[in-house]
C-alpha cells in the first residue's frame, strides 16, 4: 500500500506541517464555525457599499438610457465591453485549475481549486452584467434566447458571434457551477456532521444533499469529476475563443485578426491566475491557511503567469508585425497611428498595456521573485490592470477613428455611471467571495485528504525509507499492489 | 425502505481497511457499505463493486445535445424562417459549430450531474441514517448487515481481529427519507446508538 502513495523526494510537500486527517478538517472548517473577524466585516461592508453604488448606476442607466455612459457615435463599446471581456478573462483560471490541471494530474491544484472555481463563477456573474445592461431595453433581454414566439416566430441569428457568446457564457457558467457544487458536496457534509448549532445543521444538511461518503457514491463522484473536467477543458478554451470572435469576425481594422482566439485565451489565463493570486494571498493570511496554500503553490502559479504573459507578449508583437506585413492600409494605420504612436490620443494606454503585461511579469524568471509574497501581490494587481488596458486598447483604439475622419475629434471618457457600474461589479464579486469564504470551505477538504499521505510534509519524510528498498523488492511489491 | 440491524466497524487507517474489506468478504459476511471521508482508489474493486457507467450516460447526453443543436438550427434556418444573411448559404455548418459544441457540453454536464444525483439519491432535504458522523472527517466506517445466519458476537470478534478500533451494533433505516438534519425525528421507532 505504501507504494501506491510513493512520490519522489524531489517534489516539495504540498501540505506543510504535521497533519493528520482530523487536523486537515479542523484547519479548514474552523474559520466557518468561528464568528467573522473584524477584517471580514470591514471588507464585506465595503463590498456591499460598492455593490449598492453599482445598483444606483445601473438604475440610472435603465431610467435614462445607455446615453448615460457617455458613449458616442464611433465608440459604441467603451468601458462596458472592456469590463465584460476583462471579467470573463478572469473567470478562466478557476476552470483551468480544476479541469485542465486535473487531467494533467497536477496535484498542487487541490490547494487552490475550490477558491479559484468560486472566483470563476463570481467573475462570470459580473461579466454577464455588462452585455445584458448594455442592451438598453433590458426588460427585453430574453429576446436573445431562441424560443418559439409570437413575433414570427423570429429567431436569433445563429451565425452571429454575439449569439455564440450567449451560449458560450451561459454554458460556461452552468458547467462551472455544477463542477464546483458537486465537488463541494462531500465538504459540506463534513461541516454538517460537525455542526453543533441548529441552524448550521439545517443549512448544511440541505446544502450537502444528504451526502454520506459511501464508496459507490465516491466511485461515481470520481467518474463525474473526471468527465466534467474532460468537458470543461475544451469549454474553457472555447469561451474566450468565442469572445474573441466578437471582434475577429468583424471588419474593423485592429479587430479583424486570426490570431485573436489563442491570444485571448492566453490572456484570459494570465489575468485569471493573477486574480487567483490576489485573492489567495489574502485568504491564506486571513484564514491562516499557510500550510495548505504554500509557497510552492504560489511559485507554480507565478510560473504560469510568466508563461502566459510571454505568450501574450508574442501575440502583441505578432499582430504588430502582421499589421505591417499584411500591407493593409487601414490595419497598418490602426496600429501605427492609433496605438504605437505615443502622442496619439490613446497612445499611452498601449504602452501601459505593454509594460504591465509583457515586461513586468518577466521578473518571475527569478526564483527569489516568484517566492516573494509582496512582489507576487503587487504583480498580481499590476497584471490585472494591464489586462484591463489590453481590452481597452483593443476596443477603444480600434473604433475611435473610423473610416470617416470628420468624426475623429470625439474623445471618449466614461461617465460617473459607467465607472459606477464597474465599481458595482467589484462589489458583487467581493460580496460573493466574502460570503463564500465565510460559509463554505475555501479549500477542498476531501481532495487534500486524498493527497495528504502522498504529498503531506510529515508523510513525505517517511518515504525516504522506500527509496532505500532494493529494486527487486520494489518491483515485487509493485506487481502485487494492483 | 427497510429497518435492519448492522454491525459497524470503525477504522482509522485505510491501510488496515483494505485487507479488512477483503477478509470480511471472503469470510462470507454481507458487506453493506464502507463510508470514507475521501475517495480511496481501489476500494470499490476490493469491495467487488462494478464500474460505474456514468461516462456512457454522459456520452449519450452529449450526442443528444449535438443533435438538438444541429437539428434545431438547421430546421429554423432552412425551413421555418429562412433569412438571407448577406447572401450566405442557409445551411452554414461552420458557423453553427460554436453553438453545437456548447450545447453538447451543456447537455452532457447537466445530464450527468442529474444522473449522478439520481443514482446516489442526493438532493436537498434528503436524509439518511449516518452510521458514524466522523466518516466525513477522519474515520473509515465499515457497515456489515446482520442476516439470520450472522452471529453477532462472532462478527464483533472477527472485526476486532481485522483491525477495527471501534465496533457497535445499530438498527437503522437503509433508505433515505425527506427531512432536516436539525430535527432528530427518524422515520422508524427503534433508533440505534449513533456513534458520537
ipTM confidence = 0.92
Which H or E run contains A118? helix A109-134
pLDDT at res. A360: 93
- What is the DSSP-derived secondary structure letter of residue B9? E
Pick among B90, B98, B112 to test the A interface (most A CBs inside 10 A): B98
Pick from B36, B113, B133: which is nearest to A224 by CB?
B113
Interface of A with B in 419-448 (CB under 8 A): 446-447
Q: Report the pLDDT averaged over residues A176-202.
A: 93
Mutation target among A197, A212, A449, A453 for the B interface, most CBs of B within 10 A = A212
Q: Which of residues 385-424 of A touch B (CB under 8 A)?
A: none
Task: Tell me how crowded residue A93 is: count the other CB atoms within 10 A of its CB.
Answer: 29
Terminus-to-terminus CA distance in chain A, angstroms? 9
Please name the residues between 46 and 75 in chain B that touch chain A, using a CB distance below 8 Å: 47, 49, 51-52, 54-55, 58, 62, 72-73
Question: Which residues neighbour A25 within 8 Å (Cβ) at sequence distance 6 or greater?
Answer: A190, A194, A445, B37, B137, B138
Residues A235-250 pLDDT 10s: 999 999 999 999 999 9
Q: What are the residue ranges spanned by the domains of chain A?
A: 20-143+158-455
Give the residue from chain B lying closest to A241, CA to CA.
Answer: B98
Q: Give the span between the Cα atoms of A220 and A198, in whole angstroms.
A: 31
Q: A343: pLDDT confidence band, cut at 50, 70 and 90?
A: very high
Which residues touch B191 (CB under 8 Å, ≥6 apart)? Answer: B171
pLDDT at A466: 60
DSSP state of B47: T
Q: Which residues of B touch A186 (CB under 8 A)?
A: 37-38, 136
Q: A368, exposed or middle or buried, with CB in 10 Å at 0-12, 13-18, 19+?
A: exposed
Of the listed ranges A60-64, A392-396, B31-35, B83-87, the one predicted with least confidence? B83-87
Q: In terms of C-beta density within 10 A (0-12 exposed, 13-18 middle, 19 or more buried), how is residue A104 classed?
A: exposed
Task: List the beta bridge partners of residue B166.
Answer: B10
Q: For chain B, what is the mean pLDDT?
A: 88
Instruction: Give the per-residue pLDDT at A9.
Output: 64
Contact B16, B139 (CB under 8 A): no
Residue B34 has pLDDT above 60, yes or no: yes
A212–B130 C-beta distance less than 8 A = yes
Question: Would you state the pLDDT for residue B194?
Answer: 43
Across B128-150, b (16+ Cβ under 10 Å) vs e yields: bbbbbbbbbbbbbbbbbbbeeee
Asked if residue A319 lies in contact with residue A257, where contact means CB atoms within 8 angstroms, the answer is yes
The residue assigned the cell 477558491 is A115
Q: What angle do CA A310, A315, A321 make, to 5 degrees?
A: 125
- Higher confidence at residue A306 or residue A97? A306
Contact residues, chain B, for A163 at CB < 8 Å = 99
The answer to whether the Cβ–Cβ distance between B95 and A158 falls below 8 Å is yes
Q: Mind giving me the DSSP string for A313-371?
A: HHHHHHHHHHHHHT--HHHHHHHIIIII-TTSTTHHHHHHHHIIIIIGGGGGGSHHHHT
Contact A275, A123 (CB under 8 A): yes
In this prediction, residue A17 carries a pLDDT of 80
For range B123-136, the mean pLDDT: 91
The size of chain A, in residues, is 482
Q: Is the pLDDT of residue A208 over 80?
A: yes
Predicted confidence at residue A481, as pLDDT, reads 57
Region A287-312 average pLDDT = 92
Instruction: Let me know: does A391 contact A356? Beta carbons within 8 Å.
Output: no
Report chain A's mean pLDDT, rounded to a whole number: 89
Mean pLDDT within A385-413: 88
Residue A358: pLDDT over 50 = yes
CATH of domain A20-143+158-455: 1.20.1630.10
Residues 6+ apart with CB under 8 A from A473: none
Q: B135 contacts in A (CB within 8 Å)?
A: 212-213
Instruction: Measure CA of the first residue to CA of the last residue in chain B; give whole Å.
Output: 25
Among A residues 230-249, those touching chain B with beta carbons less than 8 Å apart: 231-232, 234-235, 238, 242, 245
Q: Which CA distances in Å does B35 have to A358, A443, A452, B129?
A: 50, 21, 18, 12
Contact A199 B182 (CB under 8 A): yes
Yes or no, beta carbons of A213 and B113 under 8 Å apart: no
Residues in chain B, overall count: 196
Please report how the helices A109-134 and A161-194 are oriented relative to each other, as an axis angle in degrees rounded to 10. 130
Region B178-195: mean pLDDT is 63
Decide: A393 and A263 in contact? Cβ < 8 Å: no
**Residue A1's pLDDT band (cuts 50, 70, 90):** very low
B35 and chain A in contact, CB less than 8 A: yes
Q: Is B191's pLDDT higher than 70?
A: no
**Which DSSP helix (H) or strand (E) runs through B143?**
strand B140-145
Residue A228 CA to residue A215 CA, distance in Å, equals 20
Shortest distance between the Cα of B108 and any Cα of chain A, in A, equals 8
What does the DSSP 8-state code read for residue A10?
T
- Average pLDDT in the A366-388 region? 94
Note whether B33 contacts A20, CB cutoff 8 Å.
no
SS3 A87: helix
- What is the pLDDT at residue B196? 36
Structural domains present in chain B: 3-51+139-178 (3.30.70), 54-120 (no CATH)
Cβ neighbours around B175 below 10 Å, total: 12
- Contact: A450, B15; criterion CB under 8 Å: no
User: In this model, does residue A116 exceed pLDDT 60?
Assistant: yes
Bridge pairing between strands B176-178 and B140-145: unpaired
Q: What is the percent of chain A with per-residue pLDDT over 70, rounded to a whole number?
A: 94
pLDDT in the model for residue A14: 83
Backbone CA torsion sign across A198, A204, A207, A212: negative
Convert the pLDDT of each residue in A133-146 to its tens digit.
998 899 999 999 99
Max intra-chain CA distance, chain A: 83
Q: How confident is the model at residue A476 (pLDDT cuts 50, 70, 90)?
A: confident
pLDDT at A87 over 70: yes
The whole-angstrom separation of Cα B35 and Cα B22 is: 16
d(CA B31, CA B47): 8
Give the rounded percent of residues in chain A with a pLDDT score beyond 90.
63
Average pLDDT over residues A61-73: 88
3-class state of residue A438 by DSSP: helix
Tell me which of A95-109, A155-169, A213-227, B11-25 is least confident: A95-109
**H-run or E-run covering B128:** strand B126-128
Whether B137 sits inside 8 A of A221 (CB atoms) is no
Amino acid at each position: 500500500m505504501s507504494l501506491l502513495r510513493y512520490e519522489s523526494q524531489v517534489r516539495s510537500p504540498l501540505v506543510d506541517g504535521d497533519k493528520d486527517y482530523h487536523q486537515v478538517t479542523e484547519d479548514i472548517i474552523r474559520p466557518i464555525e468561528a464568528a467573522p473577524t473584524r477584517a471580514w466585516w470591514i471588507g464585506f461592508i465595503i463590498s456591499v457599499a460598492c455593490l449598492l453604488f453599482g445598483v444606483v448606476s445601473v438604475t440610472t442607466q435603465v431610467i435614462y438610457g445607455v446615453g448615460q455612459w457617455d458613449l458616442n457615435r464611433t465608440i459604441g463599446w467603451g468601458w462596458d465591453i472592456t469590463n465584460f471581456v476583462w471579467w470573463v478573462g478572469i473567470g478562466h483560471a478557476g476552470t483551468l485549475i480544476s479541469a485542465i490541471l486535473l487531467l494533467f494530474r497536477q496535484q498542487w491544484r487541490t490547494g487552490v481549486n475550490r477558491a479559484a472555481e468560486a472566483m470563476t463563477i463570481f467573475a462570470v456573474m459580473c461579466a454577464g452584467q455588462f452585455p445584458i445592461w448594455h442592451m438598453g431595453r433590458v426588460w427585453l433581454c430574453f429576446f436573445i434566447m431562441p424560443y418559439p414566439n409570437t413575433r414570427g416566430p423570429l429567431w436569433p441569428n445563429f451565425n452571429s458571434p454575439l449569439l455564440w457568446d450567449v451560449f458560450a457564457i451561459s454554458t460556461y457558467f452552468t458547467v462551472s457551477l455544477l463542477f464546483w457544487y458537486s465537488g463541494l458536496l462531500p465538504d459540506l457534509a463534513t461541516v454538517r456532521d460537525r455542526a453543533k448549532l441548529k441552524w448550521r445543521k439545517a443549512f448544511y444538511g440541505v446544502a450537502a444533499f444528504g451526502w454520506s461518503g459511501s464508496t459507490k457514491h465516491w466511485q461515481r463522484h470520481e467518474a463525474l469529476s473526471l468527465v466534467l473536467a474532460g468537458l470543461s477543458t475544451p469549454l474553457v478554451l472555447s469561451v474566450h475563443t468565442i469572445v474573441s470572435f466578437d471582434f475577429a469576425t468583424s471588419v474593423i481594422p485592429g479587430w479583424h485578426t486570426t490570431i485573436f482566439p489563442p491570444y485571448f485565451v492566453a490572456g484570459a489565463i494570465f489575468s485569471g491566475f493573477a486574480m487567483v493570486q490576489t485573492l489567495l494571498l489574502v485568504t491564506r493570511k486571513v484564514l491562516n491557511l499557510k500550510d495548505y496554500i504554500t509557497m510552492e503553490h504560489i511559485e507554480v502559479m507565478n510560473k504560469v503567469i510568466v508563461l502566459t504573459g510571454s505568450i501574450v507578449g508574442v501575440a502583441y508583437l505578432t499582430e504588430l508585425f502582421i499589421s505591417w506585413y499584411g500591407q493593409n492600409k487601414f490595419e497598418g494605420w490602426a496600429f501605427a497611428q492609433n496605438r504605437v504612436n505615443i502622442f496619439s490620443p490613446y497612445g499611452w494606454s498601449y504602452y501601459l498595456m505593454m509594460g504591465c503585461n509583457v515586461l513586468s511579469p518577466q521578473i518571475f524568471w527569478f526564483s527569489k521573485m516568484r517566492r516573494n509574497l509582496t512582489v507576487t501581490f503587487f504583480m498580481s494587481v499590476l497584471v490585472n490592470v494591464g489586462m484591463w488596458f489590453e481590452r481597452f486598447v483593443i476596443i477603444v483604439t480600434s473604433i475611435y477613428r473610423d473610416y470617416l475622419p470628420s468624426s475623429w475629434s470625439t474623445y471618449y471618457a466614461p461617465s460617473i455611471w459607467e465607472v459606477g457600474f464597474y465599481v458595482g461589479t467589484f462589489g458583487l464579486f467581493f460580496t460573493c467571495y466574502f460570503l463564500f469564504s465565510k460559509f463554505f470551505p475555501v479549500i477542498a477538504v476531501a481532495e487534500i485528504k486524498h493527497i495528504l499521505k502522498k504529498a503531506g510534509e510529515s508523510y513525505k519524510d517517511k518515504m525516504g525509507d522506500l527509496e532505500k528498498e532494493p529494486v527487486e523488492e520494489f518491483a515485487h511489491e509493485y506487481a502485487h499492489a494492483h | 425502505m427497510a429497518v435492519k440491524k448492522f454491525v459497524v466497524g470503525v477504522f482509522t487507517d485505510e491501510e488496515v481497511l483494505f485487507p479488512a474489506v477483503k477478509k470480511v468478504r471472503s469470510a462470507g459476511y454481507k458487506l453493506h457499505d464502507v463510508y470514507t471521508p475521501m475517495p480511496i482508489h481501489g476500494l470499490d474493486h476490493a469491495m467487488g463493486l462494478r464500474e460505474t457507467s456514468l461516462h456512457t450516460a454522459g456520452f449519450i447526453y452529449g450526442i443528444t445535445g449535438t443533435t438538438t443543436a444541429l437539428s434545431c438550427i438547421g430546421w429554423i434556418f432552412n425551413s421555418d424562417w429562412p433569412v438571407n444573411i448577406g447572401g450566405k448559404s442557409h445551411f452554414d455548418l461552420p458557423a453553427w459549430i460554436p453553438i453545437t459544441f456548447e450545447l453538447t457540453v451543456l447537455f452532457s454536464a447537466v445530464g450527468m450531474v442529474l444522473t449522478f444525483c439520481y443514482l446516489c439519491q442526493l438532493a436537498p432535504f434528503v436524509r439518511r441514517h449516518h452510521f458514524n458522523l466522523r466518516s466525513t472527517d477522519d474515520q473509515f466506517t465499515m457497515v456489515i448487515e446482520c442476516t439470520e445466519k450472522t452471529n453477532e458476537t462472532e462478527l464483533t470478534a472477527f472485526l476486532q481481529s481485522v483491525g477495527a478500533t471501534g465496533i457497535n451494533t445499530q438498527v437503522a433505516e437503509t433508505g433515505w427519507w425527506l427531512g432536516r438534519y436539525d430535527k432528530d425525528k427518524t422515520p422508524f421507532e427503534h433508533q440505534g446508538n449513533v456513534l458520537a
